[in-house]
Amino acid sequence: MRKNKDMPLWEQRQISPPSIYDNLIMKSIEQANGQYDGQGRYATLIVTGCEDISKAAHVISSLRYAAFRHFVSLTADKQRRWDGKYDVQFTVINKQHARRHIRERKRY
């Protein structure tokens, strides 16, 4: 077995342990009891207390990557709080159901 540093980057990603962002994606699905609404959306969660806008952008980027690994989509928005910190509000979306919803909406 090769050491991690000798492996190509794509192999390192495959054996990496789940990140906190993977857990947040799964928590959104669990909060909705695995059931999505009519538009394919699971529960909306908020990550609070990002020190600045670059940290909030990093959280959104990491959430999008985690969503990609779980074969779901994601909508996220950063909001500035009264104390200058940022919150990231995100919703996980079931891709297949959302696509079906958009196709049906365009028919009418």
Q: Which tokens hold the place of 87?
A: 């919150």
For residue 108, the model assigns a pLDDT of 56
Two tokens, residue 104: 């049906």
Residue 12 backbone phi and psi in degrees, to 5 = -60, -40
Cα first-last separation, the chain? 57
pLDDT, position 82:
94
The pLDDT score that the predictor gives to residue 70 is 87
* Contacting residues for 77 by C-beta, under 8 A, at least 6 apart: 88, 89, 90
Query: pLDDT value at position 36?
Result: 85
pTM: 0.75
Three-point CA angle 27, 23, 86, nearest 5°: 85
Yes or no: say if 60 and 79 are a contact pair by the CB < 8 Å rule.
no
Query: Can you give the residue ranges of every domain in the chain?
Result: 4-107
User: With left for phi above 0 and alpha for psi between -120 and 50, is residue 56 left, alpha or beta?
Assistant: alpha
The whole-angstrom separation of Cα 68 and Cα 4 is: 23
